[in-house]
Amino acid sequence: FGFLNKEEVLGKTARELNLISKPEQREELTEMLRKYKVVKNFEIESFTRQGASFWISTSIIIIEVENEPCLFSISVDISNRKKAESEVRQLNHFLDTILENIPNMVFVKDADELRFVRFNKAGEKLLGYSRNDLIGKNDYDFFPKEQADFFTVKDREALDRNNVTDIAEEKIKTSTGELWLHTKKIPVANESGKVVYLLGISEDITEQKKAREELLELNTQLGQKVAERTNEVNASEKKFRALIENSADAISMVSENAELLYLSLSFERLFGYTLDDLKDKHPSWMIHPEDAEKVQDVFMNAMKNPGIPQYSIHRLRHKTKEWVYVEGTMSNMLNNKNVKAIVSNFHDITERKNSEEKIKKYTVELERSNKELEQFAYIASHDLQEPLRMVGSYMQLLQKRYKDKLDEDANEFIYYAVDGAMRMKQLINDLLNYSRTNKEGELSNVIFTDVLNDVIQNLKTSIEENNVIINFANMPVIYCDRTQMIQLFQNLISNSIKFKKDDVDPIININAEKVGPNWLFSLEDNGIGIEAQYSDKIFIIFKQLHDKSKYKGTGIGLAIAKKIVERHEGKIWFESTPGNGTTFYFTIKA
* CA atoms of 132 and 309, how far apart (whole Å): 36
Q: Are residues 110 and 216 in the same domain?
A: yes
Q: DSSP assignment of 287-341, as one string?
A: B-GGGHHHHHHHHHHHHHSTT--EEEEEEEE-TTS-EEEEEEEEEE-TT-TTT-S
Q: What is the pLDDT of residues 58-106, one digit of tens each?
A: 888 888 777 887 777 787 888 888 777 777 677 766 766 777 777 888 8
Question: Environment class of residue 367 by beta-carbon count within 10 Å: exposed (0-12), middle (13-18) or buried (19+)?
Answer: exposed
Query: From CA 355, how far away is CA 333, in angstroms rounded?
Result: 34
Burial class (CB in 10 A: 0-12, 13-18, 19+), 538: buried
What distance in Å separates the CA atoms of residue 77 and residue 2, rounded to the nearest whole number? 13
Q: Which of 235, 269, 291 is the last residue of a domain?
A: 235
Last residue of a domain, one of 60, 77, 94: 77
Average pLDDT of the residues of the chain: 80
CATH label of the domain that carries residue 559 = 3.30.565.10
Q: Show the beta-strand stretches assigned E in 127-266.
A: 165-174, 177-189, 195-204, 250-254, 260-263
Same domain, 107 and 184: yes
Asked if residue 241 belongs to a domain, the reply is: no
Element (H, E) at 378: helix 350-402
- 107 and 193 in a single domain? The answer is yes
**What confidence score (pLDDT) does residue 228 get?**
53
The mean pLDDT value for 146-174 works out to 87
Q: Of 450, 448, 552, 534, whose CA–CA distance to 497 is shortest?
A: 552
> Measured between alpha carbons, how far is 112 from 105 in angstroms, rounded to an integer?
22
Percent of the chain past pLDDT 70, that is, above it, reads 78
Domain boundary, last residue among 61, 77, 93: 77
pLDDT at position 238: 57
- Residue 440: the pLDDT is 59
The answer to whether residues 552 and 468 belong to one domain is yes
In this structure, the answer to whether residues 575 and 539 fall within a common structural domain is yes
On whether both 392 and 465 belong to a single domain, the answer is no
pLDDT at 579 over 80: yes
Confidence (pLDDT) at 82? 76
Q: Which pLDDT does position 543 carry in this prediction? A: 47
Question: 547 and 464, same structural domain?
Answer: yes
Q: At what angle do helices 482-498 and 448-458 cross, to 10 degrees?
A: 50
Residue 220 in this model has a pLDDT that exceeds 60: no
Helices (H) and strands (E) in the chain, counts: 17, 20
Look at residue 98 and give its three-state secondary structure: helix
Domain presence at residue 242: no
Q: Cα–chain-centroid distance for residue 177?
A: 17
- How many whole angstroms separate alpha carbon 305 and alpha carbon 226? 25
d(CA 42, CA 22): 14
| Number of compact structural domains in the chain | 5
Contact at 8 Å (CB) between 227 and 201? yes
**Beta pairing class for 469-472 and 507-515:** parallel
Q: Is the pLDDT of residue 515 over 50?
A: yes
28: in domain: yes
Q: Please state, in angstroms and rounded to a whole number, the distance separating the CA atoms of residues 416 and 541.
A: 24
List, in sequence order, every beta strand (DSSP E) within 320-460. Answer: 323-332, 342-348, 443-447
428 pLDDT more than 90: no
The lowest-confidence range among 159-173, 237-251, 277-291 is 237-251
Q: Return the pLDDT at 215.
A: 46
Q: Cβ(461)–Cβ(586) under 8 Å?
A: no
Q: Three-state DSSP class for 404?
A: helix
Pairing state of beta strands 68-77 and 53-65?
antiparallel
Give the pLDDT band (50/70/90) at residue 439.
Answer: low
The most confident of the ranges 124-138, 250-264, 500-514 is 500-514
Residue 362 contacts residue 284 (beta carbons within 8 Å):
no
Residue 20 vs residue 560, higher pLDDT: 560
What confidence score (pLDDT) does residue 525 get? 96
State which residues form the domain around 274.
Answer: 247-345
Both 429 and 493 in a single domain? no
Q: Does the pLDDT value for residue 425 go beyond 80?
A: no
Identify whether residues 453 and 553 lie together within a single domain.
yes
- Flag whether 1 is in a domain: no
Query: In angstroms, rounded to a whole number, what is the distance separating the alpha carbons of residues 358 and 275?
Result: 35
Taking only Cα atoms into account, the Rg of the chain, rounded to an integer number of angstroms, comes to 44
Q: How many CB atoms lie under 10 A from the CB of residue 200?
A: 28
Lowest mean pLDDT among 39-43, 423-427, 499-503: 423-427
Residues 450 and 518 in one domain: yes
572: confidence class by pLDDT, cuts 50, 70, 90: very high
CB 503 within 8 A of CB 534: no
Residue 240 counted as domain residue = no
DSSP structure class, residue 10: T
Q: What is the pLDDT of residues 301-353, one digit of tens each?
A: 888 888 888 888 888 888 888 888 888 888 888 888 877 888 888 888 888 88
Residue 193 DSSP code: S
Residue 558 covered by a domain: yes
Residue 540, domain member (yes or no):
yes
Compute the residue count for the chain: 590
CA distance 25 to 44: 7
Predicted confidence at residue 435, as pLDDT, reads 59
Residue 553 confidence (pLDDT) above 70: no
Residue 281, classed as helix, strand or coil, is coil
- Outline where DSSP puts E strands in 66-216: 68-77, 105-110, 116-119, 165-174, 177-189, 195-204
Can you state the percent helix, strand and coil of the chain, rounding each to 5? 45, 25, 30
| Mean pLDDT (whole number) for 504-513 | 96
Same domain, 319 and 300: yes
For position 102, which CATH number holds?
A: 3.30.450.20
CATH of the domain at 376: 1.10.287
Q: Is there a domain that residue 517 lies in?
A: yes
Q: Which amino acid is at 497?
A: I
Task: Output the DSSP codes for 259-280.
Answer: -EEEE-HHHHHHH---HHHHTT
- 430 and 449 fall within a common domain: no
Element (H, E) at 208: helix 206-211
pLDDT tens-place string over residues 441-493: 688 999 999 999 999 998 999 999 999 999 999 999 999 988 889 989 998 99
For residues 571 and 249, which has the higher predicted lDDT (pLDDT)? 571
